[in-house]
Amino acid sequence: MRPSYRAPQARDTVIDRRARLRRPDGRDAAVEIPGAILNGVLTAGAGQHTAKILQKELMLMSKSVKRKSILTLVLCIVLAAATVLCMAGCKKVEKAKDTTTKAPANPDETATENPGETATEAPIEVPVGSKQFEFKIVHKSGETKTITIYTDKDTVGAALVEKGLIAGDNSDYGLYVKTVDGETLDYNKDGMYWAFYINGEYAMTGVDSTNIEEGKVYTFKAEAA
């Protein structure tokens, strides 16, 4: 009796080989069965129809794996781009926090105690006068001040009286200076007076009789008798 031909055995063998190529997580691995194996199946008697079915299944499995790989790659690229943008945004925020700009103070915007009041600027004194000299003051405390005087007066005393820098009593010997730059000395009470100097030397004339000479420095100094 002629033995029967069992083609399904060969198909089972091929399916078993494909099953062993699955990953541990249960998904199919992206592999291709070489043509030698397929030819072996044909030699074993699987038949052309069975081989075509197997080849079709392998192609479908390969396309599915390729689609998953492409999708994974696209997701990785999107995540990488998002990470780069996020880092760039964080750096800009940190830079903005670290870099601080200080606006210059504007006198016009300075707050006052009474909002209804408006701040007024002190007028700038424009030098007026055909003559000029340096006036130096040495106070009782040792504080020193130097002022440039512009005037049309002829004498130092007249120019300083005009500016309100000196005051005193008129006598037979001229102006007796008691107050200079707001500080008054009383010889009868504290034994001090205002000594008048020209270029650092004790003046031999009174302040109201000393003519102005440009380039010279005129000084009143608080001294004890």
Q: What is the pLDDT along the chain (225 residues), one digit of tens a residue?
A: 555 555 444 444 444 444 444 455 555 554 445 554 545 544 445 456 666 666 666 677 666 666 777 878 878 888 887 787 777 776 666 666 665 554 555 545 444 455 555 555 656 656 778 899 999 999 999 999 999 999 999 999 999 999 999 999 988 888 999 999 999 998 888 899 999 999 999 999 999 999 999 899 999 999 998
Q: How is the beta sheet containing 183-184 ordered, strand by strand?
A: 166-171, 174-180, 183-184
Asked if the structure places residue 156 within a domain, the reply is yes
| Same domain membership, residue 135 and residue 89 | no
Q: What is the pTM of this model?
A: 0.45
44 neighbors 50 (Cβ within 8 angstroms): no
| Same domain membership, residue 154 and residue 205 | yes
What distance, in Å, lies between the first and last C-alpha atoms of the chain?
A: 160
| CATH number of the domain encompassing residue 192 | 2.170.130.30
| Same domain membership, residue 159 and residue 88 | no
Structural domain for 32, as ranges: 7-96
SS3 187: helix
Pairing of strands 174-180, 217-224: unpaired
Asked if the structure places residue 137 within a domain, the reply is yes
134 Cα distance to chain centroid: 45
The residue from 47, 71, 96 where one domain ends is 96
Domain count, the chain: 2
